[in-house]
Amino acid sequence: MGQSYRDLIAWQKAMNFVAEIYLATQRFPNSELYGLTSQLRRAAVSIPSNIAEGQARLSQKEFHHILSQARGSLAEIETQLLIAGNLNYLPPAKVDGLLADADELGRVLNGLLTSIRSRVV
């Protein structure tokens, strides 16, 4: 493959997204520390982690499978952000901004998935 996972735009955007999620959840109620805060953070961390793991795999098929898991984590985050908004843990503008960032990350992941799928025979 030649390039490092750190060179992938998807990984770079996912790393930035992790930081955004951590900042956004800092003000969640303490009662959510092991609930929604933990869920959001774990799902966010899993995205760049899966991209890195997939890039390190020896086959394009494995990379594609692991990227699909990252995309699933992104959908999980979108749902959890909507829940956080419904519970008034985040203002609507913050939810909208994070969802827009998730959308952009999703488009980049989809592009990477398409690129890999074309190489999997």
Higher local confidence (pLDDT), 4 or 103: 103
Domain that holds residue 61: 5-117
* pLDDT tens digits, 79-92: 999 999 999 999 99
Give the number of domains in the chain. Answer: 1
- For residues 52 and 6, give the distance between their C-alpha atoms in angstroms, rounded to a whole number: 8
- For residues 33 and 25, give the distance between their C-alpha atoms in angstroms, rounded to a whole number: 9
On the question of pLDDT at 121 being above 60, the answer is no
- For residues 121 and 4, give the distance between their C-alpha atoms in angstroms, rounded to a whole number: 23
CA 108 to mean position of chain CA atoms: 11
Mean pLDDT, the chain, as a whole number?
94
The pLDDT score that the predictor gives to residue 1 is: 44
| Domain CATH code at residue 11 | 1.20.1440.60
On the question of pLDDT at 19 being above 90, the answer is yes
